[in-house]
Amino acid sequence: MNGNGETGTKAGDRGAPGALRGHWLLAARVTWLAVAVLVLGVFVAGEFLYMEELRTTMCGEDAQICVRDGFLTPGNVRELENLGLSVGFYAAFDAAINGVFVAAWLGVGALIFWRRSDDWMALLVALFLVTYGPMSFGPVAPAFLAEEYPALWWPISGLQFLGQACLALFFCLFPSGRFVPRWSRWLALAYLASLAPLTFFPGSPLDWVSRFELSGGVAIAPFWGGFLAAQVYRYRRTSGTVERQQTRWVVFGITAALGGFAGLIALDIIFPLPDASSITFSLFAFWAAAYGFLLLIPLSIGFAVLRSRLFDVDVVINRTLAYGALTVSLVLVYLGGVAATQTVFRFLTGQEQQLQLAVVASTLVIAALFNPLRKRIQDFIDRRFYRKKYDAAKTLEAFSVKLCDETDLDSLSTEMVSVVRETMQPEYVSLWLREPEGEVRR
């Protein structure tokens, strides 16, 4: 399914799935709108209730887990006051980042619905975005609302189950709208049948994960392994050019989001706070950055569905790999340089504190290393992951040098044809040169 609602497939594939029409289209649109409004209402009500609880509920001084749940201890309140902040700011910040997160998922889903609601595959993607992100993936407001008002537990659990179901169907159907390979439909049905008792009857005899004392992540891992295998099979065997570009954009968004989030976790492990439950400006920055990375998922999905002419994501991936590796390398060099310079200064001067000199020296080293290191990393990535394009670039570079020195027109023509054949690999190459008298020579 490309941005025009068409499917780019290889020869031999079946036609694109039929568009929704008539009563089916009306029913699908009404259902989507009802679900979206219900999700928005649940989030808004849950978030207001949760924000009010953050402002008024206080945990005991020794309840360290409260910070993970969002509630504050008296010590946390004092830490906020030391930063010049209030409990109200803390609650507002939490509501703001949750609001931006949910707005992105709902906004992208609504945009797809507005532009492609007559395409049932696009409608499924839009339904996945408005149910999975706000209900299952991000904020705790829906679960908190269900705990406070047990009568709402069933509808909220139903929306969460719908989000999980749409996620599984998204992996099985995107981007063509067909189950490829065919066994993926039975895998999806088995997953939904296994997920239903976990969602609606937790702790009951039907809850097979608790009954057999399994870990939830381990229990569902085989299903997701199968979904990923189905996507790989689809990409390699049946996807056309447009579908592969769509898949690459989605994979890029998910990988960048989870990779960025994992990088933040690694930084937190390497440079932990003195007290894991303490509130500092770095904690606010961590939350904002984590939610920012996760926004790449709905944005990349929306781009893959709506753009009719996708530009090559390989360029984005190439630059991301290069500058990501460069940033990590420079940070490691900087930290190592600061530590090493402090050690050298301490040994030479006998003084313990030489932090400013170490920082200045390390900064100068970073400035000197930036361009050479960037070129080396870019060359390594091009050789390792983009060998074909790297060889083509080298061939063109060598030809441009020869073009400046070569004077024999026949030799230059032969060389040009050879370069075009090597870099572009067309089926047929020919070159026509016009003589000064107006004749044409082949």
In a domain, 347, yes or no: yes
The domain boundary residue, chosen from 343, 359, 385? 385
> Tell me, what's the pLDDT at 185?
92
In a domain, 281, yes or no: yes
287 and 394 in a common domain: no
In a domain, 12, yes or no: no
135 and 283 in a common domain: yes
Cβ-contact 24, 138 below 8 angstroms = no
- Number of Cβ atoms within 10 Å of the Cβ of 310: 18
In a domain, 371, yes or no: yes
Domain coverage including residue 401: 389-441
Quote the number of domains for the chain: 3
46 and 34 in a common domain: yes
In a domain, 165, yes or no: yes
User: Is residue 215 helix, strand or coil?
Assistant: coil
Residue entry with tokens 């990779």: 259
Residue whose C-alpha is closest to residue 71's, from 93, 45, 53, 95: 53
The helix (run of H) or strand (run of E) holding residue 441 is strand 440-441
71 and 136 in a common domain: yes
Exposure pattern of 183-219 as b/e (b: 16+ CB <10 Å)?
A: ebbebbeebbeebebbbbeeeeeeeebeeeeeeeeee
289 and 334 in a common domain: no
173 and 76 in a common domain: yes
In a domain, 73, yes or no: yes
> Tell me, what's the pLDDT at 389?
55
In a domain, 367, yes or no: yes
> Tell me, what's the pLDDT at 167?
92
406 and 283 in a common domain: no
Mean pLDDT of residues grouped by 10 in the chain (442 residues)? Answer: 42 48 89 94 90 73 51 77 82 87 93 89 93 83 86 92 93 89 92 90 80 72 90 87 84 84 78 64 82 89 75 57 68 70 68 60 75 78 58 59 61 64 59 59 46
Residue type, 70: G
285 and 419 in a common domain: no
> Tell me, what's the pLDDT at 6?
41
430 and 347 in a common domain: no
For residue 85, is it left (φ>0), alpha (ψ between -120 and 50) or beta? beta
The domain boundary residue, chosen from 364, 385, 406? 385
In a domain, 16, yes or no: no
65 and 34 in a common domain: yes
- Number of Cβ atoms within 10 Å of the Cβ of 104: 23
> Tell me, what's the pLDDT at 111?
92
431 and 335 in a common domain: no
> Tell me, what's the pLDDT at 329?
74
User: What span, in angstroms and rounded, lies between the C-alpha atoms of 184 and 162?
Assistant: 18
> Tell me, what's the pLDDT at 396?
59
Cβ-contact 244, 226 below 8 angstroms = no
Q: What is the DSSP letter of 15?
A: P
434 and 334 in a common domain: no
User: Is residue 178 helix, strand or coil?
Assistant: coil
Cβ-contact 32, 123 below 8 angstroms = yes
> Tell me, what's the pLDDT at 45?
92
Residue entry with tokens 């770095």: 282
User: What span, in angstroms and rounded, lies between the C-alpha atoms of 365 and 327?
Assistant: 14
